[in-house]
Structure 1
Amino acid sequence: MKTNRLNLVLILTSMTLLGACAEEEKKENLAMTDKKEQIQQNSEDLPKELVAEPVTQAEAVEADAKGEVTMKGSIFYKDLEGGFYAFIAENGDRYTLHGLDETYQKNGLIVEVKGTPKPDLMTFTQFGTVLQVTSVKVLDTSKVIDSLPTK
């Protein structure tokens, strides 16, 4: 008789535990369903496919050329870090010239320079903004100093 009671208690306990586990599993399934719905709703806002739009070299050059400026001023030779040619515009802005043709490398030359400022480019000269020269027009040669100091 004692074994029957013990078996009955074990059966009732097992059924209670199984019922509690089944209830817990239902809650987890509901939580997972909610998470899936949230992910689906959020994914509707995201693009379905990433598409790279190629840019031709001509378009890149054209976009870069939009930042091109034309200024009048003087070219000066600066004896720093091996020497370089600087440009001081009429408004006082200072530039380090990159790509300046040897023809125009004259201390005191007054010119009209066309080029693209490169404010993110760093140099040893630390003389204003770097200007990538595209064209130069000579305005006055009367102030050119031919004799540059040499070491």
Structure 2
Amino acid sequence: MSISVTGTIERKGLGPGTWALVTDDGETYELQKPPEELRKSGLKVKVKGEVKKDVMTFAMIGPVLEVNSFEQLSSD
């Protein structure tokens, strides 16, 4: 399923550690192999990608989102 969401990048320390996008609505997506430019806590972004329903992870913090493209909005 293709989606476009706006939120803030966070580093989650669960398991081996993972990068997440916490949306403005409070939903958390686990980022699958995010590009280096997205690996910055506090970064405000708009992300377009695919929700991967056939992927399981150690962190299990929310749906897995494979990033197709993103736009940086700001950083804290």
TM-score, scaled relative to structure 1: 0.48
Structure 2 unmatched ranges of 5 or more: none
Identity %: 37
Question: Residue 42 of structure 2 aligns to which amino acid in structure 1?
Answer: G
Report the Cα distance in structure 1 between the residues aligned to 2:20 and 2:55, rounded to whole angstroms. 15
Higher helix share: 1
Is 1:110 paired with 2:44? Answer: yes
Q: How many residues align?
A: 76
How far did residue 91 of structure 1 move?
1.4
Is 1:84 paired with 2:18? Answer: yes
Query: Based on CA coordinates, which of the two structures has the bigger radius of gyration?
Result: 1
Question: Residue 16 of structure 2 aligns to which amino acid in structure 1?
Answer: G
Higher strand share: 2
How far did residue 126 of structure 1 move?
1.0
Structure 1 unmatched ranges of 5 or more: 1-66, 144-151
How far did residue 140 of structure 1 move?
0.7
Report the Cα distance in structure 2 between the residues aligned to 1:106 and 1:81, rounded to whole angstroms. 19
How far did residue 100 of structure 1 move?
1.0
Higher relative contact order (CA 8 A, sep 6+): 2
Report the Cα distance in structure 2 between the residues aligned to 1:73 and 1:126, rounded to whole angstroms. 19
